Amino acid sequence: MAGFLWLPAQEVKKIIINNADNFDKNELDHPGVVVAIGNVQATHENVKLYCDQAYHYPRRNLIRAYGNVRLNQGDTLKLYSQYLEYYGDTKTAIAYQNVRMTDPKMTLTTDTLYFDRVKQRAYYNSGGTLRDSINVLTSKRGTYFAENKMFQFLTNVKLVNPDYVINTQHLDFYTDSGFAYMYGPTTIISEANQIYSERGFYETRGTRSYFVKNSKIQYENRLIEGDSLFYDKVREFASATNNIKITDTLNSTVIKGHYGEVYKAKDSVFITKRAVAITYDKKTLDSAYIHSDTILVTGKPDARIMKAYRNARFYKKDMSGKADSIHSNQQTGITKMIRKPVIWTGRTQMTGDTIIITSNTETEELDSLKVFNNAFLIEHDSLDNYNQVKGLRLYGLFKDNDLYFTELVKNTEYVYFTRNDKKELIGIDKGYCSKISMFMSESQIDEITFYTQVDGIVYTDEDLPQNVRKLRGFNWRGEEVIRTKDDIFKGDKPIKLTKIRGLPLPVIENDPIEELKRLKQEADKKDMGDGLKPNLPSTENETSEKENK
C-alpha cells in the first residue's frame, strides 16, 4: 500500500541460563520449569545473574534465583540479595533479604528492592540505608535513578556526616557529586550552627549551601533569616538577600535590610538596602532604631561596635537625630554622630560639627552629651518663638534617659524670650557671655543662667526687629524631625528587591511499587494454579505483611 511503512514488532528477548552444575526438569511435577542448581549463571540482554539455585520459567520469561544472588548491569551497577525474581518481558526485578545495591561510589542496603530496567530506577518502601565515602543516609522510602546516579529519599530522611546531621522529609542526593537538594521542613545541625529551611541545596563533600524558603541560620548568639541564604562552612561566611533579619540574642539587637553578610570568625555583620538596627531596652521597655544606607557591626558579643554610615538617622522615645554617620561602641558606651549631626528632643534642636552621646555601660541608660565646635541649641516654644544659644562646645546631662541640664562654653551668644507664669512676654534677652547653663524639664528650657562678661540687652517685643531675632548660623530643621520609628525611612528611594534564583521543585512520580507488586501477585497466582510455585524462602517484607493481617 502506497505510503505505508511496516515495521516488525520488537522481539522480546528471552532469559538464558548459561551455566549450572546440575539441571532438573520434571515435566510431571513441574511442567515447563527448569531447576538449575549450583554456580548458576543466567543472562538477559546486558544483565548477568548469578546464584546458588534458580527456577527458570521459559514460557513466562521468568527466573527465580536463590542464595547468594548477584545481578550485574554493565560494569558498575550490582545488586545482591538472598532471593530475586526477574521478569524478562517487563525487565523488572524484585530482590529480597539482605539486599545490597552498589556502584563505585555508594552502597544501598534494604530488605526489599524493586528494580525497573526500562526506566533504570530502583525503589524501596520498607526502609533503606545509603553509604558513600563520608555520608550515611537513611529513609523509609527511596528511588534510585541509575542514569543520573541520583537518589530520591522520602519520609524520615536522615543524613549523617562527620561534621553535621540533616533531617528532612525529602532529599535528592547525587552520588557522583555529593550534592543534596532538600524539600520540606529541614534541619542541619553542626557544632558551629543550626540551619532550618524548607527548600535548599547542600554540598555534602564541599563547603557551600544555599537556601530559599523560610530559611534561618542559628549561631551561638546570632540568628540569621532571609528569603535567600548562602553559607560557606569553611569560611564561616553567610550572606542573605531580601527581608533579612539578624538577631543578636545576647545584646537584644535586631538588624534588618535586604542584603547582608556575616563573618562568624571575625564577629562581623554587614547589611544594606533599607538597613535598620533595633536595640531593645529591657529596663525601659523602649527600643532605639538606627537607619542608614549601610550598617556594619563588628566585635565580640560584649564589645560590639556598630557603624551606620551614609545618611544615618535614629529614633527613640523622646529623642531622634540625623548625621552622615553614627558610630556606637558598646564597651565604652560612646556613640558618635559625625558630619552635620542634629538631635531633636521635644521642642529642642541641637547641632554642631560632632555630637557624642555617652551611656552608662552597666545600666545602659543615657549619661551625658557633648557637642563639639559650632554648638547651636534652638528651642521652638509653644508661641512659635525660637530661644537660641550657641557657643564653641555644649555639654549635657541625662537623668532617667531625659536631658535635664546643658551648658555652653566659649564665645557664647543667646536670644531668649523671657515670660512670666502666665506665658506673657516680658522681654527678649539678646547678648554675649562666656558660659550659659540651662536646666530643662520635659525637654524644654526651665531655667537659664548667663555667666561672666555678660553683654546683653533685654528688648521689648516692639524694639527688636524680626530680622535680628535669629543668631548667625540659625537653621531650624523642623520639617526633618523624626517623630516615629517609620520616619527614619522618610525620603528614601524605593528599594527594588533582587529576584531570587529559586531551586527547582522536585518531580515525584506515583508510587510504582504497587504496580510491580501486582505483576508479582499475578505471577504467583499462575504458579499456584498450575502447581508450579516452589517453596520460596520467607522474606522480612512478607512476614511483616502476614503480621499486619
For every residue of 19-66, DSSP letters joined together read: E-SEEE--TTTSTT-EEEEEEEEEEETTEEEEEEEEEEETTTTEEEEE
Per-residue confidence (pLDDT) for residue 3, from 0 to 100: 41
Q: Is residue 448 part of a domain?
A: yes
In a domain, 64, yes or no: yes
In a domain, 447, yes or no: yes
Print the SS3 string covering 151-212.
EEEEEEEEEEECCEEEEEEEEEEECCCCEEEEEEEEEEEECCCEEEEEEEEEECCCCEEEEC
Q: For residue 520, is it within any domain?
A: yes
451 and 544: one domain?
Answer: no
Shared-domain flag, residues 356 and 453: yes
Asked whether residue 347 falls in the same domain as residue 446, the answer is yes
Residue 449 counted as domain residue: yes
Span 184-200, pLDDT tens digits: 999 999 988 899 999 99
Residue that is written with C-alpha cell 525660637 in the block: 386
Query: Which of 419, 437, 470 is the last residue in one of the domains?
Result: 470
Query: How confident is the model over 336-356, as pLDDT tens digits?
Result: 999 999 999 988 999 999 999
pLDDT at 500: 83
- Note if the pTM is more than 0.75: yes
Residues of the chain with pLDDT under 70: 1-11, 28-29, 283-285, 508-512, 515, 519, 523-549
Predicted local distance difference test score (pLDDT) of residue 284: 66
Q: Domain of residue 345: give its range.
A: 341-470
Residue that is written with C-alpha cell 565515602 in the block? 133
Query: Tell me, what's the pLDDT at 275?
Result: 94
Backbone angles phi, psi at 482, to 5 degrees: -95, 105
CB 247 within 8 A of CB 222: yes
**Domain endpoint, select from 435, 470, 505:** 470
**Do residue 355 and residue 449 come from a single domain?**
yes
Amino acid 360: pLDDT:
85
Q: What beta strand segments (E) does 204-318 contain?
A: 208-211, 215-218, 222-226, 228-232, 237-248, 253-263, 268-281, 286-298, 305-316
Number of domains in the chain: 2
Q: So what's the pLDDT on residue 317?
A: 85
First and final CA of the chain: distance in angstroms? 59
Query: Residues 165, 194: contact at Cβ < 8 Å?
Result: no
Helix, strand and coil in the chain, % to nearest 5 = 5, 60, 35
Residues 453 and 541 in one domain: no
CATH of the domain at 50: 2.60.450.10
Assess if residue 118 is contained within a domain. Answer: yes
Same domain as 420, residue 519: no
Q: Among 470, 489, 505, where does a domain finish?
A: 470
Residue 404 lies in a domain: yes
> Are 239 and 261 spatial neighbours (Cβ–Cβ below 8 Å)?
yes
Same-domain pairing of 451 and 517: no
Q: Are residue 465 and residue 536 in the same domain, yes or no?
A: no
Distance CA 157, CA 153 (A): 6
Whether residue 531 sits in one domain with residue 435: no
Note whether residue 178 is domain-resident. Answer: no
Q: pLDDT value at position 391? A: 93
Provide the 3-class DSSP secondary structure of residue 103: strand
Indicate if 457 and 353 belong to the same structural domain.
yes
